[in-house]
């Protein structure tokens, strides 16, 4: 005989889980006791939301679900934003919540929320565990569903009486890797014919192209076909393990805006776009419309059809092997492969515009360029959500996969610090930088305590404008009066010290690089505060792009 919670924790161990993140309640006490006597570490956070962001980021970076834990009602509801973050962002994660006993109700309806129903639209699967004997299979099923394409979160509710009940020692179900089917030969034939006919082909790498499973096949495909490519925000930097020039010399930029940016010169001129791993949860990288390019969707799953995305053909199956099949037929058979490549220098030249502006407070282009200088090629930058995200998506160059973690799906504030903490836990040997606005940072700043307690090496760059800058900018673009967007801030250096973290303030533009370097060299958790000047938003992202000479396809 074995206790339900022991069986549950054994089932987590069977899946290779090494950490569980969360805030327990009294309904989880058996589970906590089972964790105490297991090899799985319980990482207590200061808010359930950040536990979910951390677990989701574990899934994003490793392809294996991260696990987060909460009590019933209030704690479980605090996981909701993290569930949606993982659901939209396709990050494998398991959410475990407690519940009052289901066989008796000594506390009537106290704290009871129907979490299985609440989690349904926020997860791939949401289930209550009603007996100990089903635990090994239900946990295995949860991990399978969370991991399989399209990945995402699964919610399991473990009620207090099931967790504490003795039941039979049911054997575990061994996980096995499920190889995905490769695209059908007819789909590959069709795509090969279309690509060979293209006069100006272009590749777009989307969010699903950044799955850890994809590996080197993507880089090989680009190197073998020599078709230039651009990325969506979440597809940025997915060509793994290649030095800066190979095949990044085919990179035409990132579509951080939906239209009019310099990268759209190539998009507008392309007659065929191979959309590899595009997921329409992302803000559109371009708008499909009448007279636009032919689009071939290459994905693990079929395309979602949207007003702005309705591909003409699809190659559905395991992306890596599908690309190898395509490359075998396309290598040295595409005389027009490089037709759009001459646009590259003109587009990329603009990415360093403003990189040396030395006025203070610091402009975003300078911040992006300076951060790139400070971060080694394998350094990881985790962004929160604010105005700077557009500048990083547009201008920051990533020579390695998953080195710029941004959320262009739920686009929630508050995830920057927890996702950076998870990256630092997984990659203790790399430099990890969280970049947050003063708004987003304060949404989960309490996790500085967790970061210090975990002994993480992590630098947090706070861009201070005393405002919800992104919305303030949009308000101005829409010609509304400046209203309702500003706030005060704590003294961030003193705030850092209060947590036992280091803190420094950038007092002059030329100090940003040395202050960041010395923060990394000091180690531990370090807050760096830099005042930001967002007046460039309108000058570049509105006026300059609006006045840009129209490309032939615009006319
Ligand atoms: C949880 C959440 N609330 C509100 C928003 C809407 N929103 C998007 S950006 C933004 C302002 C962000 O301010 P800050 O973090 O200071 O960054 P800044 O733009 O000022 O650099 C807001 C309110 C959001 N995306 N997520
Ligand atoms: Mg701000």
Give the model confidence (pLDDT) of 69-87 as tens digits.
Answer: 999 999 999 999 999 999 9
**pLDDT band at residue 413 under the 50/70/90 scheme:** very high
Distance 441 CA to ligand 2 centre (A): 9
2-167 CATH fold: Rossmann fold (3.40.50)
Model-level pTM? 0.96
C-beta neighbour count of 1 within 10 angstroms: 8
Q: Is the CB of 75 under 6 A from ligand 1?
A: no
Would the CB of 464 count as within 6 Å of ligand 1? Answer: no
Measured from the Cα of 463, ligand 1's closest atom is 21
**Is the CB of 152 inside a 6 Å radius of any atom of ligand 1?**
no
For the stretch 112-130, pLDDT in tens is: 899 999 999 999 999 999 9
470 lines ligand 1 (CB under 6 A): yes
Residue 249 confidence (pLDDT)? 85
Distance 413 CA to ligand 2 centre (A): 11
pLDDT digits (tens, 9 = 90+) for 362-386: 999 999 999 999 999 999 999 999 9
Annotate 498-542 with DSSP letters as a single string: HTT-EEEE--SGGGHHHHHHHHHHH-SEEEEEEEB-TTHIIIIII
CATH 3.40.50.970 domain span(s) along the chain: 2-167, 352-541
The pLDDT value given to residue 100: 94
The backbone torsions φ and ψ at residue 73, rounded to the nearest 5 degrees and listed phi first, read 20, -95
* 441 Cα nearest atom in ligand 1: 15
The yes-or-no verdict on residue 239 having pLDDT over 80 is no
For domain 352-541, the CATH class is alpha beta
For residue 471 and ligand 1, the question of a CB distance below 6 A is answered with yes
Q: Report how far ligand 1's centroid is from the alpha carbon of 481 (Å).
A: 18
Tell me which residue has tokens 């956070």: 45
* pLDDT given for residue 553 in this prediction: 39
> Closest ligand 1 atom, CA of 532?
21
Render pLDDT for 493-536 as a digit per residue (tens, 0 to 9). 999 999 999 999 999 999 999 999 999 999 999 999 999 999 98
**Mean per-residue pLDDT, 132-161:** 98
Closest CA to 512 of 350, 373, 381: 373
User: How do 2-3 and 166-167 pair as beta strands?
Assistant: antiparallel
- Rounded Cα gap, residues 382 and 37, in angstroms: 33
* CB-based contacts of 543, cutoff 8 Å, min separation 6: none
Measured CA to CA, the distance from residue 304 to residue 281 in angstroms comes to: 9
- What are 12-54's pLDDT values in tens digits? 999 999 999 999 999 999 999 999 999 999 999 999 999 999 9
State the distance from the centre of ligand 1 to the C-alpha of 255, rounded, in angstroms. Answer: 20
| Atom 13 in ligand 1: residue holding the nearest Cα | 468
Q: What is the CATH number of domain 185-342?
A: 3.40.50.1220
Distances (CA, A) of 118 to 79, 144, 347, 362, 436: 11, 22, 46, 43, 30
CA of 470 to the centre of ligand 1 (A): 6
136's tokens: 């090994």
Which of 53, 383, 439 should be mutated for ligand 1, with most atoms under 8 A from CB? 439
Q: CA 448 to CA 501: how far, in whole Å?
A: 8
Tell me: pLDDT of 149 over 60: yes
361 has pLDDT over 50 = yes
> What's the confidence (pLDDT) of residue 549?
52
Distance CA 183, CA 328 (A): 14
- So what's the pLDDT on residue 241? 42
CATH 3.40.50.1220 maps onto the chain at: 185-342
Q: Which two three-digit tokens encode residue 367? A: 């911040």
Q: Which of 440, 463, 485 to mutate to test the pocket of ligand 1 (most atoms within 8 A of CB)?
A: 440
């Amino acid at each position: 005989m074995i206790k339900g919670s022991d069986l549950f924790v054994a089932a987590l161990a069977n899946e290779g889980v090494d950490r569980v993140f969360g805030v327990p309640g009294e309904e989880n006490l058996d589970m906590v006791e089972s964790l105490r006597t297991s090899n799985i570490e319980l990482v207590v956070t200061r808010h359930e939301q950040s536990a979910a962001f951390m677990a989701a980021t574990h899934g994003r970076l490793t392809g294996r679900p991260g696990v987060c834990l909460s009590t019933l009602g209030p704690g479980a509801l605090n996981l909701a934003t993290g569930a949606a973050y993982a659901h939209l962002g396709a990050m494998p994660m398991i959410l475990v919540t407690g519940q009052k006993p289901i066989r008796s109700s000594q506390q009537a309806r106290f704290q009871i929320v129907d979490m299985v129903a609440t989690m349904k639209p926020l997860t791939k699967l949401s289930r209550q565990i009603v007996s100990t004997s089903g635990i090994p299979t239900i946990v295995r099923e949860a991990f399978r569903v969370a991991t399989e394409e399209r990945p995402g979160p699964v919610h399991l509710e473990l009620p207090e009486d099931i967790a504490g009940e003795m039941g039979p020692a049911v054997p575990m179900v061994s996980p096995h890797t499920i190889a995905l089917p490769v695209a059908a030969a007819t789909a590959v034939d069709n795509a090969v014919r279309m690509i060979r006919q293209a006069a100006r082909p272009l590749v777009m790498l989307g969010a699903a192209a950044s799955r850890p499973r994809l590996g080197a096949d993507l880089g090989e495909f680009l190197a073998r076909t020599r078709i230039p490519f651009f990325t969506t925000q979440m597809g940025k930097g997915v060509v793994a393990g290649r030095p800066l020039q190979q095949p990044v010399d085919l990179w035409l930029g990132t579509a951080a805006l939906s239209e009019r940016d310099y990268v759209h010169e190539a998009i507008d001129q392309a007659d065929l776009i191979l959309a590899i791993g595009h997921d329409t949860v992302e803000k559109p990288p371009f708008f499909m419309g009448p007279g636009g390019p032919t689009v071939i969707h290459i994905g693990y799953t079929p395309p979602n059809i949207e007003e702005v995305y309705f591909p003409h053909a699809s190659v559905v199956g395991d992306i890596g092997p599908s690309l190898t099949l395509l490359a075998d037929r396309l290598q040295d058979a595409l005389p027009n492969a490089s037709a759009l490549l001459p646009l590259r220098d003109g587009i990329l030249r603009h990415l360093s515009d403003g990189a040396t502006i030395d006025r203070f407070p610091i402009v975003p282009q300078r911040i992006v360029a300076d951060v790139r200088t400070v971060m080694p090629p394998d350094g990881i930058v985790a962004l929160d959500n604010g105005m700077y995200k557009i500048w990083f998506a547009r201008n920051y160059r990533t020579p390695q996969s998953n080195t710029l973690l941004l959320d262009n799906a739920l686009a929630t504030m508050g995830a920057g610090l927890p996702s950076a903490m998870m990256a630092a836990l997984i990659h203790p040997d790399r430099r990890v930088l969280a970049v947050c606005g003063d708004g987003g940072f304060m949404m989960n700043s309490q996790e500085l305590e967790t970061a210090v307690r975990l002994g993480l090496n992590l630098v947090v760059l706070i861009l201070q404008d005393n405002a919800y800058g992104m919305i303030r900018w949009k308000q101005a673009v829409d010609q509304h009066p400046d209203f309702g967007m500003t706030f005060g801030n704590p003294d961030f250096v003193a705030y850092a010290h209060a947590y036992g973290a280091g803190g420094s303030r950038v007092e002059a533009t030329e100090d940003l690089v040395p202050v960041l370097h010395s923060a990394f060299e000091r180690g531990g958790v370090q807050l760096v505060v830099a005042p930001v000047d967002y007046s460039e938003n309108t000058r570049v992202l509105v006026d300059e792009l609006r006045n840009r000479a129209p490309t032939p396809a615009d006319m």
